[in-house]
Amino acid sequence: MGYKLYYFDVRYFAETARILFHAAGQDFEDITWSMAEWEEWKKKSPTGKAPWLEVDGHVISESAAIYRFLGNRFGFSGKDEYERAIVDTVTDVIKDVRSQARPYLVVRGGFTTGDKAKLEKESFWPAMESGFPYIKKILDESKSGFVAPSGLTWGDLWIVENIIMYRDLFREFSTRYTWVDDYVNRVHSDPRIKDFVESRKHYRISYVNGPVREI
């Protein structure tokens, strides 16, 4: 049984899946390409988007579906249906945050033009406030330090990848949400992923100090 994960040579929407493979000690083929090569790879994509995962003769598209599949298979989805519902809830909340912040993100990333200062005030920070206080509430209620009472799940991994991006955008993010740095460190200190996180080679996508770029 082999796993093949297809995505750009960046972190972004594939990184949670990569971390899950390492957490489970599962070998996989990490098939990547540059931004310039995307048009050729796009022809091979089942949906015209990336990432996608090939396993057991099946193809799974959409990032959250891939995370959920791997989380279920490797034991990172919560211990019961209630915890799985919590994980689904918080990841949908983060998806909504990203969607609400998109008007600012596309301008900050150089994909279109607009008033960055106005969009920061009217789009970005309201989007953050719509979701991250709720994530903190879930963490407090779980009493485990993770979104599920039983411990680390794919939901934590996905939330942390988003936090890292928002911290790159604004150092102020960590002062507004003072708990996020400890949360990131807690998740990344898990012995099943610590070595990978500290040595991972994939570039993050950064909006800091100008258009989107690989760093």
Q: Residue 108's pLDDT is what?
A: 87
With b meaning 16 or more CB within 10 Å and e meaning fewer, what string describes 88-98? eebbebbeebe
Contact by Cβ (8 Å): 108, 169: yes
- CA dist 138 and 181 (Å) reads 16
Q: Residue 163's pLDDT is what?
A: 96
Q: Residue 12's pLDDT is what?
A: 84
Taking the chain (215 residues) in consecutive chunks of 10 residues, what is each chunk's mean pLDDT?
89 93 96 89 91 94 95 96 97 95 90 92 97 98 97 97 92 95 97 92 56 44
pTM for the whole structure: 0.90
Q: What is the rounded radius of gyration, in angstroms, for the C-alpha atoms of the chain?
A: 17
Element (H, E) at 173: helix 172-176
Q: Residue 110's pLDDT is what?
A: 82
Q: Residue 102's pLDDT is what?
A: 94
With b meaning 16 or more CB within 10 Å and e meaning fewer, what string describes 179-213? ebeebbebbbebeebeeebeeeebeebbbeeeebe
Q: Residue type at 23?
A: A
Cis ω for the linkage preceding 133 (within 30 of 0):
no
Map out the domains of the chain with their CATH numbers: 3-75+197-205 (3.40.30.10), 81-190 (1.20.1050.10)
Q: Residue 205's pLDDT is what?
A: 60
- CA dist 197 and 87 (Å) reads 21
